[in-house]
Amino acid sequence: MRRLPIILCLGLLLVSQAAGADLRIGIIGLDTSHVIAFTKSLNDPSSPDHVPGGRVIAAYKGGSPDLKASAGRIDKFTTELQEKYKVKLTESIAALCDMVDVILLESVDGRVHLEQARQVFRSKKPVFIDKPLAASFSDAKEIARLAQESGTPWFSSSSLRFAPAYRQALRDTASGVIHGVETYGPAALEPTNPGLFWYGIHAVESLFTLMGPGCVSVSMTSNEDFDLAAGVWKDGRIGVAKGLRKGKEDYGALLYRETGIYHVPVKDVSYVLLVREIMEFFKTGKPPVANAVTLEIMAFMDAAEKSRKQGGVPVKLAQ
């Protein structure tokens, strides 16, 4: 069957939304708690966190046998998705794409995102790719290239980007401009997804949420307990992301502003805010996070890892 042009596909999605029909949502990768949290928000109208406009109807199990966080949890999440939410499993990503309007690529292992996204792009279905976009900058660049080549809308983000505490801090213009930021967050290590790519992505995404894009180089200091990635922005500002593996592990930031220094703790991390952004993206085709910003975040983590391996010397971000 001849595939419809991407503009027509998006047009049909918008017509469907205008008519009040729920989008048919498919999930790739059932090895993260995100699939349960997202499906509950979308499929359970009785939930206080219900987000209308779409319903998860099918999923491709996926999984990474050599990654404990995947292999040790995938069966539990798969069973809950099938039994509680009556989601149908498919034998392939291609079969899943044929059944749905839009895709949530949720595989916990960033290494598999490129190959899975490649198959989604063939269908030209809009896709949200959960953090991290990939486990390497080279894979991230190829995802972006393939998406542009196929004309497929996509975006990727940590849920921390939409934390109310950060949004309020950005609205606080009375305190003047932000001259620098230090963010912090848990940064467990996983050899298959090196350095900050595994869990440090949250602190890095928080840093770019508050600083904006424009980083030119990164210096990384790391030991068993902590990571410290210091970036220099093109306007001279310095932004720091600290990964925590010892002691209390919370999320938050320190903002250096024109008229004061402010601690911004994040106590209200909620997936529902991210789900709302995803659904708006599915309706409009417009990503809430520019693809170029996501690629810069990936380049930051790539440069940080290269700096760590070279003893902390500054490394320029790849263009």
As a whole number, the mean pLDDT across the chain is 93
| pLDDT confidence of residue 10 | 56
Task: Report the pLDDT averaged over residues 158-183.
Answer: 95
d(CA 73, CA 30): 9
Would you place residue 7 in the very low, low, confident or very high pLDDT band (cuts 50, 70, 90)? very low
Would you place residue 44 in the very low, low, confident or very high pLDDT band (cuts 50, 70, 90)? very high
Q: For 160-271+299-316, which CATH class?
A: alpha beta
Is pLDDT at 95 greater than 50 in this prediction?
yes
Is pLDDT at 139 greater than 90 in this prediction?
yes
Fold of 6-156: Rossmann fold (3.40.50)
Is pLDDT at 230 greater than 80 in this prediction?
yes
Among 66-70, 122-126, 262-266, name the one with the lowest average pLDDT: 66-70
List the one residue out of 3, 5, 2, 23 whose CA is nearest residue 13. 23
| pLDDT confidence of residue 1 | 38
Among 19-33, 98-112, 140-154, name the one with the lowest average pLDDT: 19-33
Is pLDDT at 18 greater than 50 in this prediction?
no
Is pLDDT at 133 greater than 60 in this prediction?
yes
Is pLDDT at 19 greater than 70 in this prediction?
no
Task: Report the pLDDT averaged over residues 146-158.
Answer: 98
d(CA 310, CA 299): 16
List the one residue out of 213, 254, 253 whose CA is nearest residue 235. 213
Task: Report the pLDDT averaged over residues 198-222.
Answer: 97
Q: Assess contact for 226 and 242: CB atoms under 8 A.
A: yes
Task: Report the pLDDT averaged over residues 92-103.
Answer: 98
Does the predicted TM-score (pTM) go above 0.85?
A: yes
| pLDDT confidence of residue 15 | 40
Task: Report the pLDDT averaged over residues 32-54.
Answer: 96
List the one residue out of 238, 237, 229 whose CA is nearest residue 299. 229
Listed by start position, the domains of the chain span 6-156, 160-271+299-316
Q: What is the identity of the amino acid at 101?
A: D
